Amino acid sequence: MKQSFLFGKTRVEDPKDETSINAKLLMRAGFVDKLAAGIYSYLPLGLRVLYKIQNIVREEMNAIGGQELLLPALHPRASWEQTGRWNEDVMFKTQGHGGQDYGLGWTHEEIITPLVARFVSSHKDLPLALYQMQTKFRNEPRAKSGILRGREFNMKDLYSFHRDTHDLDAFYERALQAYSRVFERCGIPALVVEASGGSFSKYSHEFQMPTDSGEDIVYSCSACGRHQNKEIVEGNACPSCGGDRQELKAIEVGNIFKLGTRFSEPCGLRYADEQGKEQPVIMGCYGIGPSRVMGSVVEASHDTKGIIWPETVAPFKVHIVALGSSEAVISTAGALYTALHESAVDVLYDDRDMSAGAKFADSDLIGIPYRVVVSERTLKQGSVELKKRRSDETILVDVGELVRTLSK
C-alpha cells in the first residue's frame, strides 16, 4: 500500500488522556483511535494487525479440532437467569420496544450450552470444540489500560464438550499447548500460571506476560518453573519445591478453565452414554482476546522511538522509504514496491513528499520489521539500505537481490 493513500496519520504528542504505553503508541502511530474510555476504533493499520492475530488464533484452534461459529452479542434475559448470572455487575443491559430485557454478551456459556443441547444427544456427538471471534462488552468501572481492558473488545472464546473428565483433561492439555503456540507465534513471552479453579477443579490456568504495566501479580518460582496468581498464593515458598518466589507484575493474555457441569446442568445439556443412560456433558472454556494480545505485543515490544512488531503480526513486513524526489529514487522505489507486491510480500511504500527525518520518525513509530531506504547516495552503488527495526542492524543490499531476500 502507498502511504500517501493510507488513512491514519501519526502524531508527535502523546494523547493527553491515556496513561498506558499500548494506547499511547497505538494512537500516535495511527493504529487505533479512541472514541471513549475503553472504546477504540481500529484504523486500517490496526485492523491489519488484529486480523493477523485472529488468523494465528484461528489456525491453532482449527488444529486442535475447533470449529468456528458466531454467536450473538444481544442475549435475552432468560438465558442468563437460567444460570443465575443475570445480575452480574459486568453486564450491560438494554431493552427492546416490546419490553424485552437483553444483556450484552461478556462471555457465552449461557448461549452456547443450550445451542449445543439442541444438537447433541448421544455420546457419538462428543467430543466437540466450538469457538468464535466476537465482540464482547463489559461494563468495566475503570478502563485505563488502552486496548488491554476495554468496555468493548475482540475475543476468541472456545468451548469444549466431553463425555467425561478424562476426555476433558486430554483436550485441556491440547488447548494449553495450542495457547502456548499462539503466544509464541505472536511474540509474547507468556507464563502458564495457576489461578483459582472454581468448584470443578483446583486450578484454572492463565497465560501471563510479565511486564511492569501489568495489573496482575504472579508468584514465579525460577527454580522449578511453577507460577501462581497472587490470588491463590498461600505462602512465600513454592508449593512444589519450597524455593523462594519472585513477585512479578503481569498482563493476563489468555485463560483456560474446566467448567465441569456448571453450565451443562442448568442448561440441560445431557447425552445418552453407551448404555443409553443420560449423563451431563462435561465442559471446558478457553479465552484469548486478540485485541488484548495486540496491546500486549506493544507493551512487550517497543523502544523510545515506537513499536517493534514481530513479523508474524506486523501490519506490513516491509516499509519502503524513498528519500528525495530524484527520478532514480522514485523509479527504483516504485519498481521495488511492485516487485515485492507481486511476490505477495506485504509492503508499505512511503511515497509521501516529506523530509527524511519525518519519514524515519514515522517509520520508527509504526514499527514495520524491515525498512528499505531508497536514496540517491546508495543507488550510486546500485544498492539500497535494508534495516531491521528490532536490531537497528543495517546492511547494504543490491537492488536486484532485495526482492529475493525479502520474499523468503
Binding site for a second copy (CB under 8 A): 5-9, 33, 35-36, 39-44, 46-47, 50, 65, 67-76, 79, 89, 92-98, 100, 102, 104, 111, 115, 118-119, 128, 130, 135, 137, 139, 141, 151-152
**Whole-Å CA distances, 113 to 132, 137, 283, 344:** 14, 19, 9, 42
Question: What DSSP element (H or E) covers 386?
Answer: strand 383-388
Pairing of strands 216-220, 227-229: antiparallel
Task: Name the residue nearer to a second copy (CB basis): 5 or 189.
Answer: 5
Task: Provide, rounded to whole angstroms, the least separation between the CB of residue 104 and a second copy.
Answer: 7
Minimal distance, residue 89 CB to a second copy, in Å = 7
- Beta carbons within 8 Å of 113's beta carbon, 6+ residues apart: 159, 263, 264, 267, 269, 283
Shortest spacing between CB 163 and a second copy, in angstroms = 16
Smallest separation, CB 71 to a second copy (Å): 5
Q: Which is nearer to a second copy, 83 or 139 (CB)?
A: 139
What are the two backbone dihedrals, phi and then psi, of residue 211, each rounded to the nearest 5 degrees? -165, 145
* The pairing of beta strand 191-196 with beta strand 227-229: parallel
Closest CB 80 distance from a second copy, rounded Å: 12
| Rounded Cα distance, 295 and 300, in Å | 9
Other C-beta atoms within 10 Å of 88: how many?
A: 14
Question: Please, what is the minimum distance in Å from the beta carbon of residue 47 to a second copy?
Answer: 5
Given the complex with a second copy, which of 207 and 349 has the nearer CB atom?
A: 349
Q: What is the C-alpha to C-alpha distance for residues 351 and 359, in angstroms, rounded to an integer?
A: 10
The candidate with the shortest Cα–Cα distance to 129, out of 199, 195, 231, 60, is 60
How far is residue 218's CA from residue 208's CA, in Å, rounded to a whole number?
Answer: 8
What is the helix (H) or strand (E) element at residue 153, kind and residue range?
Answer: strand 152-162
State in angstroms the smallest separation of the CB of 85 from a second copy: 16
Query: Which amino acid, one-letter code, is at 257?
Result: F
Whichever of 51 and 203 has its CB closer to a second copy, that residue is 51
Instruction: With CA atoms as reference, report the closest residue to 256 among 335, 145, 325, 175.
Output: 175
- Minimum CB–partner distance for residue 92 and a second copy (Å): 4
Q: Smaller CB distance to a second copy: residue 52 or 151?
A: 151
Least Å distance between CB 9 and a second copy?
5
CA dist 104 to 79, 159, 354, Å? 12, 19, 46
Half-sphere exposure of 245 (CA within 13 A, CB side): 25
162 vs 387, which CB is nearer to a second copy? 162
Show the cell assigned to 248.
512479578
Would you say 139 or 211 has its CB closer to a second copy? Answer: 139
Nearer residue to a second copy within complex by CB, 123 or 205: 123
Instruction: Name which of 115 and 191 has its Cβ closer to a second copy.
Output: 115
Decide whether 141 or 357 has the Cβ nearer to a second copy: 141
- For residue 144, the minimal CB distance to a second copy (Å) is 13
The Cα–Cα gap between 296 and 24 comes to: 13
CB-count exposure of residue 233 (10 Å: 0-12, 13-18, 19+):
middle
